[in-house]
């Protein structure tokens, strides 16, 4: 699925937020270079699920953050992790096996231990103020989430 939207993400109301990108138990794997817009997309998804936008930023000291939302959201930025073991030590398996939403920045760094049924979003920087989002599902659950998201976006 290719998306090219000049409109900036992260400033929409919950009505326009990409809520369907994160269905219950959904795992979103965000991939993109420094400054591609991973955190901005997390802010947009989290806000659309009811999280307080001010709390959503790149976890610097905490490697994983939880936001009160419906469903609850876990946000992990793996940039500072030294290896995959440190990622597993966060107890991330528990999140994977829960109905909570899990959003992971730099997911390519921990791809080897991610459940394959994840929604992978590659963000390409196409210009100073433009981004291309490529979204791919890795299994039945993420495929269902992607179909719902596609239907919602087509209805916009």
Binding characters for Mg ion, 54-93, by CB under 5 A (x = yes): ----x-----------------------------------
Among 17, 37, 38, 92, binds Mg ion (CB under 5 A): 38
> Is the omega angle on the peptide bond into residue 56 within 30 degrees of 0, that is, cis?
no
Nearer to ligand ATP, 98 or 108 (CB): 108
Binding characters for ligand ATP, 49-68, by CB under 6 A (x = yes): ---------x----------
Answer whether 114's CB lies under 8 Å from 99's CB: no
Partner from Mg ion, ligand ATP, none contacting 155, C-beta within 5 to 8 A by type: none
Question: Tokens in use for 105?
Answer: 């920045």
Q: Which residues pair with 73 in a beta bridge?
A: 67, 101
CA-to-CA distance for 122 and 105, rounded, in angstroms? Answer: 11
Q: Of 33, 46, 102, nearest to 74 (Cα)?
A: 102
Q: Which residues bind Mg ion (CB under 5 A)?
A: 38-39, 58
């Amino acid at each position: 699925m290719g998306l090219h939207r000049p409109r900036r993400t992260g400033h929409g109301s919950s009505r326009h937020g990409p809520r369907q990108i994160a269905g219950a138990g959904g795992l979103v794997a965000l991939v993109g270079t420094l400054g591609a817009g991973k955190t901005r997309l997390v802010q947009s998804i989290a806000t659309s699920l009811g999280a307080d936008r001010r709390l959503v930023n790149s976890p610097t000291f905490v490697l994983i953050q939880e936001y009160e939302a419906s469903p609850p959201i876990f946000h992990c930025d793996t940039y500072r992790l030294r290896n995959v073991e440190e990622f597993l030590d966060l107890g991330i398996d528990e999140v994977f096996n829960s109905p909570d939403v899990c959003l992971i920045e730099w997911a390519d760094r921990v791809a080897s231990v991610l459940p394959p049924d994840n929604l992978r979003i590659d963000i390409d920087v196409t210009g100073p103020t433009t981004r291309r989002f490529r979204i791919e599902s890795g299994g039945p659950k993420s495929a269902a989430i992607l179909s719902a998201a596609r239907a919602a976006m087509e209805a916009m």
